[in-house]
Amino acid sequence: MKKISFLLLFIITISLFSCKKDFLEVPLQSSAVTEDALATKGGVQKLMVGAYHDLTGMSLSSRWWTTSGTNWQWSDVTSGDAYRGGTGGANDEPEGVSIELYQSQPSFTYILNKFKAVYDGIARSNDVLRAIEKAPDMTPEEKDEARGEARFLRAHYHFQGKIMWNKIPFVDEQVTDFKLSNQQDIWSEIEADFRFAFQHMQETRPYRGQANKWAAACYLAKTYLFQQKYDQAKPLLDSIITMGKTAQGVQYDLNACFQDNFDGQYENSKEAVFQIQFSADKEAFGNNSNLGEAANTPAMWQVSSWFASWKQPSFNLVNAYKTDTNGLPMLDTFNVTNMDNDKGLESWESFVPYQGTVDPRLDWTVGRRGVPYLDYNYGVPNPGKDWINSQDFGGPFTPIKGIYRFDQQGVYSEYYTNGYLLSSAVNYNLIRFADVLLWAAECEVETGDLNKAREYVNRVRKRAKDGCTVTVDYTTGYPSANYMIGTYDHAWSSQEVARKAVRFERRLELAMEGHRFFDLVRWGIAAEYINTYLSVEKTRMNHLSNVQFTKGKNEYYPLPQQEIDLSNQDGKPLLQQNPGY
Amino acid sequence: MKFKFQVKGRIPPFLNYCNNHYKEWIMKSSCVLLFLGFTSLQLLMARDGKGQRLSDMKITVEFKKETLKSAFSTIERMTDLRFAYNAEQVDKYKDISLQKGTYTIQSLLDFLLEGTTLNFRKINNKIIVYRKEEAAEVKPVLLNAFVENAADGGTVKGVVTNDKNEPVAGATITVAETGKATAANAGGEFLFADLKPGKYRLQVSAVGFRPLEKEVTVTNSQTTQVSLALVASNNALDEVVVTGYSKQSRRDVTGAVSTISADVIAQTPVTDVSSVLQGRVAGVTVDGQGGPGNEQVVRIRGIGTLGDNNPLYVIDGVQTTGGLNMINTNDIESITVLKDAASCAVFGARGSNGVIVITTKRGKTGAPKMEYNSYAGYELPIKSIKLVTPQQYADAYWGYLKNSGLNLSSALYGNGATPVLPDYFVSKKGSPTFAAVKEGDAIADPSLYNFSTYRIMKTNKQGTDWFKEVFDPALTQSHQLAVSGATDKSNYAVTFNYLDNKGILLYSYFKRYSIRANTEFKVTPWLRLGENLQFAYTQGNTVSGHTDQNIIADIYNTSPLLPVYDIRGNYTGTNGAPGELPGDNLLLSRVSSKNAKGYSARLFGSAYIEVEPVKNLVLQSKVTIDYAPYQNRLFQDTMPQVRFPVTSLKFSEFSGNSTEWRSTNKISYSVTIAGLHKINAFVAYEASEYNYRGLGSGSDSVFYNLPGFMVTSTGTGVRWQVSGNADKTTYVSQFGSLNYAFGDRYLASFTIRRDGTSRFTDLKRYGVFPSGSLGWRISGENFMQGARWVNDLKFRASLGTSGNDAIPSGLTVSQYYTNPAYTYYDLNGVNNAAMLGFALTQIGNPLLQWEVNKTVNLGFDGSFFNNRLSASFNWFNRKTDKLLYQPPVTALQGDADAPYQNIMNFTNKGIELELGYHPASKRKFNYDINVNLATYRNNVDYIDGKPETYILGGLYARSINLSRSAVGKPVGSFYGWEYDGMIQQGDSAGHFRFKDISGPNGKPDGKVDDNDRTYIGNPHPKLTYGLNVNLYYGNFDASVFFQGVYGNKIFNYWRAFTEWPGKLGAGSLDTWSPENVSGKLPVYSNKDLDDDRPSTFFVESGSYLRLKSLQIGYTFAKIKGINKLRVYAQGYNLLTITNYSGLDPEVNSGAPGSTGIDFGGRFPVAMKLLFGVNLSL
């Protein structure tokens, strides 16, 4: 009897532990959701935000400086405008130094990280496009506008890759097999995306940081320029200049002050065509701020005991801001002598800053001894060497654009926290209206209307002259330097002269903003220009001895070796390495 | 005469009495006889006597100085009388002389025993000689017994014991000359009767013991007493094998199975079960991971899958694949390694990497027993890291400047023709932030010193030995107390263990407190209940992993010119220092993180109820639980003086817990039909669930660095981090097994298991894994009877499948995540509140299915030459199909994690041989030898359907992969260029030449590029082996254990970061220059920096032979009240013979694509010198 009851008990136990059918259906755990959960209007918007995030370049968990959306490593440092800076030596990111010296290698993590950051932006844009197709609660108009926005972002990321590597595959939302060849030029696909975005996005958008119709138009124009399609760019630029508006519906115009473009208080202004919306969120560990340039801050001890002082302006760049008696740049002679500087001087030794005339934009672009550096150092002028890790390696100058003001700390910067740098939350201009005006000037030069070109250039120079044009001593209000800037009041004598002036103006206006190297390459003058630059600069900077820009090679960066290896199909890589690597 | 023991229940009290007083009895074996007499009816039936009286019997004899014994023999020869006596009592009577004459037996015996303490009595034809004072006890039962046994011929009686003097029941005793065999009873006793007088060899064998042979002399009518003490064997062929869901006699095993006994485990003073396996079992490779509490990398038969290759551990029926350092190795009774799929198939889903079945100790019948085992000693670094001196480093830097065409100028070394080492460093706020100055410079005026703003350090021109600063001999100790016992109705074992293992890296340690309780109850003959439960609590601080980012790697990256302390005794730092002074104060970094601690606990065990309603039909319901909470605390002290100053105290804490339960219901039946057909079968149903939840939180700007402030609420709240994660997996399984044996000669076994997993969609959810195996015990065949040298020989063949789903859960669908750092964006431009966004984080693959492992295994187990030689051999072909893997995918797909795929097939083929030589026990000196050898060859058979496809692996520091898995090559083969010497002439002089082996068209094209890469090394060993020799001399014992691997290659790419021009490793100085054209390393300059591309230059032999353990012990002779007392001294990891130039040849991280790649930064394996004691009461 007992046995039987135990047997029964046993059977009951078995049946208790027998499982229901859904025992093996385990939903996703942790913080993840499935695709279906996001296939709604709200989901599309959230995926769109995710796609925008990649503008910062901060999608990889470390090595922010390699992926920064501002391209400083890839453009400012390699264009003759800046040195890599820092401490030099083998322990300060040797790959970054090699890139400065035109010795990039396919195996560099810098290269791979940048490649990944670019294509992650593309992948996220494509995810948005796929979700739009599935979202049942969106109207056709809403869908088209969202498609336009996603394709705008996708084209932006492709554009970034295109100018870095030239030969890259275009990935759209239809791609499922990612073994792709890079033997097709992708400008037409980039153009198509921007054109679609231009046609389908509204002029005004709900959020300030969003791309709009005119941002797409500007980027389309930029795409034309990079293909030397000046006839197509010109009418588009004309209409942008007359009709273009920001996402808030404000007519494009230059800001009153040049430096407003680099001041957190004036973000998303009328000059801002498309900005990376950096922000200082505590939860993001700085990943939504301009962490990629955090190490470019001078080594100012009241901010922190340590900064890398990377991206230090070159002598050549500083010299470019010398002006002649008319306040015009010394196009041919600017680099013959160096502007007075404190290289080799200790901070306690006396120093008199350059007394010649300079373009006022110099002191909003370059930090130099004897001139106040924003509002840092409590108004006492920049002490020079103390703020620099190694003058031998980085020279005597420091960058300013994108650095938040000291009194904005915590508002336009991350708070200082353990282990994190005080990265700036000041927006970065991917495209600003001055940029657009100078493109238009280029188009006019190339298509023949030199006066129109001069008009655009003068509009830019006039703003530099009239609006808040001088840096003042923060405490006394007196000018810190002998500023002199004028407009081109005489017609340019030839297309050649005009071209030179326009290109020089781009440098003065947009220096250290990540454009220069790519401009040099699209103008086809990179090798000639940079080798000329090096021939003089190596006499000033020890580390540039023996450095050479190889024509036909260094115009583009090498594709990452790992990507080539992974593109293997039937024993042959589909991705072809760029020439010379 | 045939004896049948019918022993039931407890040992009768009188037998205990006998044990205590046996010396006093007339015959040594009297207790046995007494016992037998009492229990055996046969013995109680006394025969009718022969009525002849002694006084009537007459013989004619003469004694000349004979012994009493020989006198008795003489009488025996001349009559049919048989004497029974205690030899000890009789031996002392000698010099008996008697004139030749005819005497009655009565008078003869009276004469012989006159003046002795002995008396005699005749029963039937037996003459019992006994001491007078024992007379009362000799009758009557005893006498009856004597009567029975003192038949014609002699008798041998004996008792078989182990080295602890406990009876060995079931031992087989064979009389070599006659082939007669019997088995020892529960008391270890046995008896042979009716042996003709003469010399015989008794051969004894028992499960788990070395065979023993002893010579005995049998005399007519005499009972010869023998005592046979067996010595435990390490590698016995005959033993019970626990295979998880059932037990099998080793005789009946038809799969590839190896075992390790408790004695071997006791020889290995390690914290981790897996370390015990190293070198002990053919086909099991273990890569040591140094560092206290760090788990080892265990592989059974090589790499079986591209993901998780960890074998399944089944500990008293509880399944786990990790956290082995929580298991107290002293608790382990035996380890069984199931290697082929047929043996593992019963574990289905989780058995494909092999199964390691661990049984913990249970109480054994007898009085409560207490054991205390302990060891203590030191751990020492085996090899140290050698660095350049500060002057050498500076000179090399000057060479670099010259070679690069740069000015000879440095913030540290001045501007001279030769670099001059500074005397002081000053690191301060203001100008300059860091200065290197000479003695006497006003900047270095000690009175200016202020830790916050003005730190002055005297440089260490001799060079700081950072290795010595952070590595130190460390104390390690273990104490274990165990109580166990059993009655016929229950058994119990309770152990407590305390382990304190300090690591050789400063402040690293691992402490474990564990308690285990195993009990079983037979409530009624048909109802049994049992449980086993372990609770362990550990805490520790260690450095683990294979990385260039930890403190061990940093030893190579820290300038020896930096002193440890500044002029006021504070720790130095390189805040503001230029790049020529690399690294930072390692001791400070170690000190500031000494409060980073991990705590974990684990409750681990099972309980079962077993009902036997019908004889041999057993219903079992079992529940196992594995609950493991953990907590990691990180308290980072401020370090304002370091290069990246840490100015805020930071505390963070991560905790979580995993719970896994499993419920198994099983019906098993065993029957023997007609004494020939033995059948064992079971069917079972099982369900299990794994759950994990974790939570992390942190706080900055903690007020004080006091332990009380190690909670996350103490920060000033500038930044809080909160993170959480969860995981869950479920399984449902049905399985069954059938074992059949025909007359012990023909064996067959079949298993089938069906597993369902939550990790796959319902399309592919279930996997069915059948297996079968056959065995033929050829030694049981009649035609083998002539081959006396073969004691046992069994051929085995098995074919089986098992499955694998060991990938993270939730991979069948694409996962989108949200994270402020990676998916948010300030679209609204408000600057401090980015909008929430989502992004793809994991690409799903709904078609994922079971990876299947098929193994064919052929082999034999045998024992030969009177069981002296045992051998076990396996040949296997292990094919893994539909390998689950997350192949690296192109970045074109985005940054989301690549989808897992069933992408590849590969094969491991190999052989394994285990040999044991256990000579018969000698009186004083004994030894045994165990050898194991294994080899396997890995080959990729298929990837993705395309012969040219390969899978990249071994990504390290550069974005170039060091290994590839391609069809026709072993998994994870090294890939790169072939180094072809140094270029001596021209512009490229001093750089490496690489071979131009191919071009875009498959032919050498005169330039070295990607096309010239090829397979440059196989990380898989050609041979792994172990050799164990145990020696016994009297009370001394010793064991020597060697272990090694042969024929593998190591990619020592770490060299490129340590012993490369400009690096700090001592080997970095041998650079090429016009003055040193034989320099092995390239010229140190800023040009053509790609000599360190992956090439054969970095590929080295990974072979090594290690004296893993050397132990010498002494067991004290019997001490009153103490059962056993042994002390020993042991050295562990004593000697390593290798040509490998890195810190240690055991470099495997466990990731298949990174096999054999030295990533540096690994915690080095330590040498241990220990003293221990084993005490049992």
| pLDDT score, position B9 | 36
- Residue A275 or residue B114, greater confidence: A275
| pLDDT score, position A476 | 53
SS3 of B969, please?
coil
Angle made by CA atoms A371, A374, A376, in degrees to the nearest 5: 90
- Cα separation, B502 vs B474, in Å, equals 5
Closest residue to B726, CB basis, from A30, A101, A124: A30
Is B257 within 8 Å of B241 (Cβ atoms)?
yes
Is B951 within 8 Å of B888 (Cβ atoms)?
yes
Write the single-letter amino acid at B584: D
| pLDDT score, position A326 | 93
Calculate mean pLDDT across residues B863-872. Answer: 88
Angle made by CA atoms B847, B853, B858, in degrees to the nearest 5: 165
Calculate mean pLDDT across residues B499-516. Answer: 92
- Residue A475 or residue A369, greater confidence: A369
Residues 86-105 of chain A with CB under 8 A from chain B are 86-92, 94, 98, 101, 103, 105
* Residues from chain B contacting residue A117 (CB–CB below 8 Å): 895
Q: How far is CA A170 from CA A174, A189, B240, B318, B893, in A?
A: 11, 7, 65, 52, 11
Token couple for A62: 């470390």
| pLDDT score, position B1015 | 95
Q: Of B994, B1016, B991, B1015, which Cα lies nearest the Cα of B1004?
A: B994
pLDDT at A571 over 90: no
Q: Of B783, B988, B804, which Cα lies nearest the Cα of B884?
A: B804
Is B213 within 8 Å of B198 (Cβ atoms)?
no
Q: H or E element: which one contains B553?
A: helix B551-554
Token couple for A193: 């995306």
Q: H or E element: which one contains B940?
A: strand B925-943
| pLDDT score, position A62 | 60
| pLDDT score, position B385 | 82
Q: Of B688, B623, B686, B626, which Cα lies nearest the Cα of B658?
A: B626
Q: Which residue of A has its CA nearest to B702?
A: A418
Token couple for B769: 């894994």
Q: In what order do the strands lie in the sheet with B424-428?
A: B434-437, B424-428, B454-458
Cα dihedral sign, A487-A491-A493-A495:
positive
Calculate mean pLDDT across residues B437-465. Answer: 92
- Cα separation, B125 vs A425, in Å, equals 115
Listing DSSP states for B763-786 in one string gives: TT-EEEEEEEEEEEEGGGSGGGTT
Cα-Cα end-to-end distance for chain B: 39
Place of tokens 């390694």: B337
| pLDDT score, position A283 | 75
Q: What is the 3-state secondary structure (H, E, C) of A224-258?
A: HHHCCCHHHHHHHHHHHHHHCECCCCCECCCCCCH
What angle, rounded to 10 degrees, do the helices at B30-39 and B141-149 form? Answer: 100
- Cα separation, B875 vs B853, in Å, equals 16
Q: In terms of DSSP bridges, do strands B509-524 and B490-502 run parallel, antiparallel, or are they unpaired?
A: antiparallel
| pLDDT score, position B238 | 52
HSE-up (13 A, CA, CB side) for residue A301 = 18
Write the single-letter amino acid at B876: F
Cβ partners under 8 Å of residue B1104, min gap 6: B1044, B1045, B1136, B1137, B1138, B1140, B1145, B1146
- Cα separation, B549 vs B1057, in Å, equals 12
Calculate mean pLDDT across residues B413-436. Answer: 86
Place of tokens 């600057």: B831
Cβ partners under 8 Å of residue A482, min gap 6: A354, A355, A356, A357, A358
Contact (CB<8Å) B959/A346: no
A378/B contact by beta carbon, under 8 A = no
Token couple for A196: 């679609």
The pLDDT tens digits for B915-962 are 999 887 777 888 889 999 999 999 999 887 777 778 888 877 777 889
- Cα separation, A212 vs A203, in Å, equals 6
Backbone angles phi, psi at B789, to 5 degrees: -75, -15
Q: Of A396, A504, A496, which Cα lies nearest the Cα of A457?
A: A504
Q: Tell me the pLDDT band of B982, cut-offs 50, 70 and 90.
A: very high
Nearest-CA distance from B537 to chain A in Å? 27
Calculate mean pLDDT across residues B542-548. Answer: 77
* Residues from chain B contacting residue A383 (CB–CB below 8 Å): 431
Tell me the β-bridge partners of B880: B853, B906
The pLDDT tens digits for B274-333 are 778 888 888 888 887 778 888 888 888 888 787 778 888 988 888 888 777 778 888 888
Q: Which residue of A has its CA nearest to B955?
A: A562
Tell me the β-bridge partners of A479: A472
| pLDDT score, position B15 | 36
- Cα separation, A539 vs B683, in Å, equals 86
* Residues from chain A contacting residue B762 (CB–CB below 8 Å): 24-25
Nearest-CA distance from A257 to chain B in Å? 20
Q: How far is CA B323 from CA B274, B629, B658, in A?
A: 11, 11, 11
Nearest-CA distance from B707 to chain A in Å? 20
- Cα separation, A491 vs B264, in Å, equals 97
Cβ partners under 8 Å of residue A180, min gap 6: A169, A171, A567, A574, A575, B892
Tell me the β-bridge partners of B655: B631, B695
* Residues from chain B contacting residue A103 (CB–CB below 8 Å): 1087, 1089
Q: Of A113, A115, A82, A84, which Cα lies nearest the Cα of A98?
A: A84
| pLDDT score, position B12 | 36
Write the single-letter amino acid at B178: T
| pLDDT score, position A237 | 97
The pLDDT tens digits for A426-449 are 999 999 999 999 999 999 999 989
pLDDT, averaged across chain B: 83
Q: Which residue of B has its CA nearest to A301?
A: B429
Write the single-letter amino acid at B468: K
| pLDDT score, position A16 | 52
Residues 103-132 of chain A with CB under 8 A from chain B are 103, 105-109, 111-113, 115-117, 119-120, 122-124, 127
User: ipTM of this model?
Assistant: 0.94
- Cα separation, B120 vs B116, in Å, equals 11
Cα-Cα end-to-end distance for chain A: 87
Nearest-CA distance from B974 to chain A in Å? 14
Helix boundaries (H) for B348-481? 390-403, 466-470
Q: What is the DSSP secondary structure assignment for residue A87, as one 8-state letter?
A: T
Contact (CB<8Å) A35/B813: yes
pLDDT, averaged across chain A: 88
HSE-up (13 A, CA, CB side) for residue B1155 = 29
Contact (CB<8Å) A279/B1093: no
pLDDT at B142 over 90: no
C-alpha of B348 from chain center:
23
* Residues from chain A contacting residue B578 (CB–CB below 8 Å): 87-89, 389-390
Calculate mean pLDDT across residues A421-429. Answer: 84
Is B896 within 8 Å of B880 (Cβ atoms)?
no
| pLDDT score, position A8 | 59
* Residues from chain B contacting residue A295 (CB–CB below 8 Å): none
Strands (E), B886-923: 901-917
Cβ partners under 8 Å of residue A403, min gap 6: A262, A297, A374, A424, A426
Q: How many other C-beta atoms can be found within 10 angstroms of the C-beta atom of residue B77?
A: 11
pLDDT at B150 over 60: no
Cβ partners under 8 Å of residue B191, min gap 6: B3, B29, B32, B36, B149, B155, B156, B157, B158, B182
| pLDDT score, position B31 | 36
Token couple for A5: 């009851």
The Cα diameter of chain A in Å comes to 118
Q: How many other C-beta atoms can be found within 10 angstroms of the C-beta atom of residue B868?
A: 18
pLDDT at B26 over 50: no
pLDDT at B470 over 80: yes
- Residue B593 or residue B456, greater confidence: B456
Q: What is the DSSP secondary structure assignment for residue A575, as one 8-state letter?
A: S
- Cα separation, B727 vs B693, in Å, equals 7
Tell me the β-bridge partners of B218: B198
